[in-house]
Each structure stands twice: as structure tokens, then as C-alpha cells.
């Protein structure tokens, strides 16, 4: 005969605790995000100190980091595809050649497609800055 218990197990307690903490973390993140935005980023007075000025510019997205990160990821992806293509020599010489030639081209097209959005942002920012000064 098999007996079952209706008592909660240890994993149920851990899961419930993680769920409650997730809700608390979400509420605290919303409150903290709103406070940082209105009390620091949108504050009228400029912060004192180089680090705080840099932090305010960083949080206000005046400094864009995506462009250098994407360049490094492009280099890493291209080198990876070229090196990984050599593992295909034993499988099929044709797949090796196609991956060696077309892999970097496909990665370049994806990179350029993503960079178009950044270039649009740069051009829009330049237009906005030139119209503000007049």
C-alpha cells in the first residue's frame, strides 16, 4: 500500500520564497527606477564630480556603447565562423568552402543591418542638435 501526504515539501517552500522575492524585487526595481529617473537624471542641478557627471550622462543615454560592442562582436563572430569552418573539412569540402566564404559575408550583412539603425539614430541626433541651437 502506498501512502501519500499532503504536506508541502521543501522544494515547494523554496519555490514560493523565490516567487515572493521576485515580486518584491519587481516592486523595488520599479520604485528605484522611478526615483533614479526623476531625482538624478531629470534633476535641474548638475552633479558635482566627474564620476557623477559621467553616471548621469550614462543613465540619460548620452553615451552610446552599442557601437563599439557591436564591432567587437562582429570581429569575434567572423573569426569564430572562419575557424569553425575548418572543422567541416572532414565532413564535406564543399561545406567547408561555403562556410569559409559565405559565413563572414552573412555576418557582415547582419552587422550592417544592425548598424543602419545606429546610423539613423546618429543622423537624427545631429539634426536635432542643429535645430536646437538655432
pLDDT tens-digit readout, 118-128? 999 889 988 98
The pLDDT of residue 60 is 85
d(CA 16, CA 71): 43
Its pTM stands at: 0.64
The domain limits of the chain are: 1-45, 64-134
Rounded CA separation 110/61 (Å): 24
Task: Tell me the C-alpha distance between 76 and 115, whole Å.
Answer: 16
Of 10 and 59, which is predicted with more confidence? 59
Cα distance between residue 127 and residue 134, in whole Å = 11
pLDDT 10s digits, 78-120: 999 999 999 999 989 999 999 999 999 999 999 999 999 999 9
Query: Is residue 10's pLDDT more than 60?
Result: no
Whole-angstrom Cα Rg for the chain: 26
Phi, psi at residue 130, to the nearest 5°? -70, -30
Amino acid at each position: 500500500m502506498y501512502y501519500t501526504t499532503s504536506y508541502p515539501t521543501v522544494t515547494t517552500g523554496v519555490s514560493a520564497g523565490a516567487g515572493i522575492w521576485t515580486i518584491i524585487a519587481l516592486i523595488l526595481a520599479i520604485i528605484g527606477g522611478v526615483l533614479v529617473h526623476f531625482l538624478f537624471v531629470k534633476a535641474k542641478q548638475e552633479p558635482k564630480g566627474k564620476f557623477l557627471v559621467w553616471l548621469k550622462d550614462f543613465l540619460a543615454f548620452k553615451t552610446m556603447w552599442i557601437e563599439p560592442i557591436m564591432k567587437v562582436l562582429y570581429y569575434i563572430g567572423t573569426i569564430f565562423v572562419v575557424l569553425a569552418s575548418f572543422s567541416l573539412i572532414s565532413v564535406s569540402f564543399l561545406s567547408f568552402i561555403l562556410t569559409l566564404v559565405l559565413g563572414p559575408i552573412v555576418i557582415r550583412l547582419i552587422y550592417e543591418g544592425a548598424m543602419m539603425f545606429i546610423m539613423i539614430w546618429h543622423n537624427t541626433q545631429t539634426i536635432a542638435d542643429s535645430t536646437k541651437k538655432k
